Amino acid sequence: MDYHSVFENHKEQDLLGRYITLKNIEPLLGKHLFKNKIDVLEKSVLEKSIYGYQTGTGEFKILLWSQMHGNESTTTKALFDLFNYLDSDVEEVQKWKDKFTFLFIPILNPDGAELYTRENANKIDLNRDFMNLSQPESQLLFSQFSSFKPDFCFNLHDQRTIFAAGKTNNPATVSFLAPSFNKECAINTTRQKAINLIVGINMELQKHIPNQVGRFDDVFNRNCVGDTFQQLGVPTVLLEAGHFQNDYEREKTRKFIFISLLRGFSLLYENDIVDNKIDDYLKIPQNNICFYDIVYRNVKINYDNSIIITNFAAQYKEEIIENQLFFNAYISSVGDLNEIYGHLEYDAQGGLFHDGVDYFPNIDQKADFIIGKSKIFVNGLLIK
């Protein structure tokens, strides 16, 4: 399959950027009503609609949900790209619909999506609520899991720009986890299926983003939905959309999520998830925190009345201002920054830092400053 062409032909052009809410997806759901079952499954804490999107008639059932964390929207975009593909008449889609029944929940946490926060309106992380099931959104997902009785689950998230694929300077553009079902992180038949599927997807992704796929630590947490569903005997894959070079809107990353889902469905259709692929799974490099958004090296600063040359870093905070998302850069770290990388790096060549008040980059201050006599930085970026 030419995944790139399939993506370009089915990309949902009316769903762009990182701030994705019900206002963005509700008009798009309307155009899919004629071929699919779309219902309001439940209401959120603030009485916003949580939609279910069901298609296919097969016996093998697949449950997928996105934006469990409201500010993690890339996989929602990829789902709508997928909806366009599943509405097409290509032979592969028809085969999938004969074998599979899909149930998608495209924004599980609409309140968090509107507020652009990880938590729901009650400030609860839904992915830490699967022992208590205290929130209507958590209760809904568990209820759908219980009634739909899926054979496979996809738990779709975004991850921060801080992660590299192992001990490299490559961003972890896509990361996976086959969640554990017990404290021993054992591997049973259920978890083995998730592992094998991840290995198959990774083999395809290496053709498109070589050395930019990571793997999360598998420490067991019964409060997490993936660990819970795995414990209940349903293979579950955690899929995280991460950073691709110069792609803060994650318009490129959405393509790799789309490819991951298509390849995953193909492998499930072919039943190519039965071999023991643990060694290949463990070869996927573990996510490593070693990135800042911007690193400034060889900067002269005034530290405790002494002039020294050192490095500092800035990180973007994603902030909603008047219903628009802004990436605002703030100073995050000062020091050697050994084995730390920047998605963007500047060599100050010994230029003196000053921000109009101080000659030291203070943590949490806005990244607006001058280096030397003429290099002006606004929001972390060199403008002059």
Identify the residue whose tokens are 């038949």: 189
What is the pLDDT at residue 275? 77
158 shares a domain with 53:
yes
350 shares a domain with 234:
no
Q: Residues 6 or more apart from 30 whose CB is under 8 A from it?
A: none
Residue 105 host element (H or E): strand 100-105
Q: What CA–CA distance (Å, rounded) separates 15 from 4?
A: 18
One-letter identity of residue 107 = I
Tokens of 339: 């084995």
pTM of the model: 0.96
Domain hosting residue 140, numbered range: 3-289
162 shares a domain with 25:
yes
Which regions of 27-67 does DSSP assign to beta strands (E)? 37-43, 49-55, 60-65
Contact 262, 201 (CB under 8 A): no
What is the pLDDT at residue 160? 98
196 shares a domain with 299:
no
296 shares a domain with 280:
no
List of long-range contacts for 302-309, beta carbons under 8 Å, 24+ apart: 302/358, 302/359, 302/360, 303/360, 309/350
CA–CA distance from 132 to each of 127, 223, 225 (Å)? Answer: 11, 8, 11
CA–CA distance from 305 to each of 150, 301, 302, 357 (Å)? Answer: 64, 9, 6, 15
Q: Residues 6 or more apart from 2 whose CB is under 8 A from it?
A: none
Identify the residue whose tokens are 């509700």: 26
159 shares a domain with 93:
yes
Q: What CA–CA distance (Å, rounded) separates 351 from 370?
A: 9
Encode the chain (384 residues) as per-residue pLDDT tens digits.
899 999 999 999 999 999 999 999 999 999 999 899 999 999 999 999 999 999 999 999 999 999 999 999 999 999 999 999 999 999 999 999 999 999 999 999 999 999 999 999 999 999 999 999 999 999 999 999 999 999 999 999 999 999 999 999 999 999 999 999 999 999 999 999 999 999 999 999 999 999 999 999 999 999 999 999 999 999 999 999 999 999 999 999 999 999 999 999 999 999 876 678 999 999 999 999 999 999 999 999 998 889 999 999 999 999 999 999 999 999 999 999 999 999 999 999 999 999 989 999 999 999 999 999 889 999 999 997
Q: Residues 6 or more apart from 136 whose CB is under 8 A from it?
A: 42, 43, 44, 45
Contact 50, 137 (CB under 8 A): yes
321 shares a domain with 188:
no
CATH code (residue 326): 2.30.40.10
283 shares a domain with 135:
yes
Strands 236-241 and 213-215: unpaired
What is the pLDDT at residue 384? 78
282 shares a domain with 362:
no
DSSP labels for 291-320? EEEEEEEEEEEEETTEEEEEEEEEEEEEEE
Question: Which of 238, 259, 289 is where one domain is finished?
Answer: 289
Question: Which of 289, 323, 343 is where one domain is finished?
Answer: 289
What is the pLDDT at residue 271? 87
Residue 341 host element (H or E): strand 341-347
Question: Which of 268, 289, 310 is where one domain is finished?
Answer: 289
283 shares a domain with 325:
no
